[in-house]
């Protein structure tokens, strides 16, 4: 049976990296029907809509999406397509596993850290207006419903995948009501999971603690904006933005996308690393129940990274995006005779 998946190639490096990921996903032998749609500035030029209604209808039908990055104009222009999609489909949980690929030397080896970010409200929603010229107001809404929902999701995830600790990250010393509500909700939920150690850290201290010793954390539970910023910080532990995948989960739908953006500085140059989007696709395969295909890709990635001669420039190699994808496919077609045992990984 083929899986019907909504594909949003995005812009900037999006089309290059999603095309590479799609080729590799198809080479696993799993069958896909891709329903592909533009979003953002490109879509507007053609359809006069930043998110075409056909795209919305497709996700309503497929319930699963694979998405490349979409550029959001800075300091003006249209609102973020990402924020719109997350809100529209109530994709309330943004899951970002921060894990080293074996064989890449980084400052911290063997990092295994989960970021669980609230994805629908808070300052990141960008609800703003000009009160009078020279004065603007940006509104941060935090609700008990959304804070409890993400806390519950994080603790259930921790229980299912046997994670040991969750730290809720906040600034409730200053934002006593909004961040205060967020941690009150996570604290309440934590009481139902006595096997999981619960802690709270202030966000600025968390940045320092992470850089000093990332191993002290197991799962971070964060509001939307803190999750956005700390994701990029944590990506640096494992080799950069070209490597870190993500998933946006709701109760009905899921959209898989890398942490990184459209990288205009390298777009169209065959320089982008497709690993982050590919690993997002791997999370999608697991979501679709295609465990064997997911392991094929994981083992092939291990092989390519072990040999090092086909890596992209962001991690010290010389290969282009397409060449890297070719070598992953080649490694899949010639698998190791005795692949390593599969850890219980999510
Ligand atoms: P960015 O993540 O696009 O780039 C930051 C740096 O990382 C750049 O030097 C870039 O070349 C590098 N980089 C990113 N992905 C890479 C990859 N796969 N391979 C190699 N190098 C990579 O962040 P930036 O520049 O802040 O944002 C650019 C645009 O992307 C903005 O319009 C922003 O709004 C948008 N964006 C979209 C996201 C999404 O659609 N999910 C997420 C983050 C940003």
What topology is assigned to 1-103+239-346 in CATH? Isopropylmalate Dehydrogenase (3.40.718)
**Rounded-to-integer distance, Cα 301 and Cα 279, Å:** 9
Nearest CA to ligand 1 atom 31: 71
Residue nearest to atom 42 of ligand 1 (CA): 261
User: Does residue 24 have its Cβ closer than 6 Å to ligand 1?
Assistant: no
Q: Which atom of ligand 1 is nearest to the CA of 263?
A: 3
Q: Is 172 in the pocket of ligand 1 (CB under 6 A)?
A: no
Of 326, 323, 327, which Cα lies nearest the Cα of 271? 323
290 lines ligand 1 (CB under 6 A): no
Tokens at 271, concatenated: 């320089």
What's the pLDDT at 158?
98
* pLDDT on residue 344: 59
User: Which band of pLDDT confidence, cut at 50, 70 and 90, is reported for residue 335?
Assistant: confident
pLDDT in tens, 59-77: 999 999 999 999 999 998 8
Note the pLDDT of residue 336: 76
Task: Check pLDDT > 80 for residue 340.
Answer: no
Mean per-residue pLDDT, 122-127: 93
pLDDT confidence band for 338 (50 / 70 / 90): confident
Of ligand 1's atoms, which has the minimum distance to the CA of residue 260? 2
Distance 261 CA to ligand 1 centre (A): 3
pLDDT of residue 337: 75
Fold of 105-237: Isopropylmalate Dehydrogenase (3.40.718)
Q: Is the pLDDT assigned to residue 322 strictly greater than 70?
A: yes
Give 42's pLDDT tier (boundaries 50, 70, 90): confident
Tokens, residue 212: 């000093």
Indicate the average pLDDT of the chain.
95
Domain with CATH 3.40.718.10 in the chain: 1-103+239-346, 105-237
Assess whether pLDDT exceeds 70 at residue 345: no
Residue 199 C-alpha to ligand 1 middle, in angstroms?
Answer: 31
Contact 147, 186 (CB under 8 A): yes
pTM of the model: 0.96
Is it the case that residue 181 has pLDDT exceeding 90? yes
Which tops the pLDDT comparison, 282 or 48? 282
């Amino acid at each position: 049976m083929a899986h019907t998946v909504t594909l949003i190639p995005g812009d900037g490096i999006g089309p290059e990296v999603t095309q590479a990921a799609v080729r590799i996903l198809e080479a696993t032998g799993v069958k896909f029907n891709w329903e592909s749609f533009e979003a953002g500035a490109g879509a507007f030029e053609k359809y006069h809509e930043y998110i075409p209604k056909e795209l919305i209808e497709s996700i309503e039908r497929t319930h699963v999406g694979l998405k490349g990055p979409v550029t959001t104009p800075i300091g003006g222009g249209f609102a973020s397509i990402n924020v719109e999609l997350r809100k529209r489909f109530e994709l309330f949980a943004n899951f970002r596993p921060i894990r080293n690929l074996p064989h890449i030397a980084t400052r911290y080896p063997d990092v295994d850290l989960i970021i669980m970010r609230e994805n629908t409200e808070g300052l990141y929603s960008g609800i703003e207006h000009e009160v009078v010229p020279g004065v603007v107001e940006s509104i941060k809404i935090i609700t008990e419903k959304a804070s409890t929902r993400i806390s519950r999701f994080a603790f259930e995830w921790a229980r299912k995948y046997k994670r040991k600790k969750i730290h809720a990250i906040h600034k409730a010393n200053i934002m006593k009501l909004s961040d205060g509500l967020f941690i009150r909700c996570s604290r309440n939920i934590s009481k139902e999971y006595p096997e999981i150690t619960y802690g709270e850290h202030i966000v600025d201290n968390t940045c320092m603690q992470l850089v000093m010793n990332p191993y002290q954390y197991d799962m971070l539970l964060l509001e939307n904006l803190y999750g956005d910023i700390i994701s990029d910080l944590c990506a640096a532990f494992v080799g950069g933005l070209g490597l870190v995948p993500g998933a946006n989960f709701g109760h009905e739908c899921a959209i898989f996308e890398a942490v990184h953006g459209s990288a205009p500085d390298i777009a169209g140059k065959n320089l982008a690393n497709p690993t982050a989007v590919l690993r997002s696709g791997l999370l999608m395969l697991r979501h679709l129940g295609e465990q064997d295909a997911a392991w094929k890709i994981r083992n092939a990635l291990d092989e390519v990274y072990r040999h090092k001669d086909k890596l992209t420039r962001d991690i010290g190699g010389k290969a282009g995006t397409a060449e890297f994808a070719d070598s992953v496919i080649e490694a899949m077609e010639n698998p190791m005779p005795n692949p390593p045992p599969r850890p219980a990984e999510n």
